[in-house]
Amino acid sequence: MPPKDPISTSVSYDDGIAVLAVTGEIDLATIPAFELAIADALTQRPSALIVDLSAVDFLASAGLQALVSTHEKVSGTAGFAVVADGPATSRPIELTGLDQILALHPSLSQAKAAVKAQS
């Protein structure tokens, strides 16, 4: 069995909202792929970007920094939300106080409802 990639990403668009689903680990080794996926999702100029971390096993500080810089880049032009529900993702976001900055949601459906209400 081949080793699985440490990170995989996929982007889908729903009603002008870009949803970036991430699986695996976000750390120094995978941050370039994560940032590339974010940039790719934003090329369509979506009305909002949702980063779905539901399937992420590990979120390092580099990933937290990428989320904050994405929030700073898109706020004003598009909505931004993060789906994180679990100790590997929501806990580091809450421990660092970033849940005060980032719109954090426990499910994709709640994130979509929130960004639609903002627009």
Query: Distance between CA 61 and CA 69 in Å, rounded?
Result: 12
Q: What is the DSSP string of 45-69?
A: --SEEEEEEEEEEEE-HHHHHHHHH
**pLDDT, tens digit (0-9, with 9 covering 90-100), for 98-116:** 999 999 999 999 999 999 9
The whole model's pTM is what? 0.94
The CA distance from 67 to 35, in Å, is 9
CATH topology of domain 7-118: Transcription Regulator spoIIAA (3.30.750)
Domain boundaries, the chain: 7-118
pLDDT digits (tens, 9 = 90+) for 38-61: 999 999 999 999 999 999 999 999
CA distance 50 to 80: 6
Task: Give residue 2's pLDDT band: very low, low, confident or very high (50, 70, 90).
Answer: low
CA–CA separation, 72 and 38 (whole Å)? 13
Query: Which residue has tokens 């699986």?
Result: 23
Confidence bin at 5 (pLDDT 50/70/90): confident
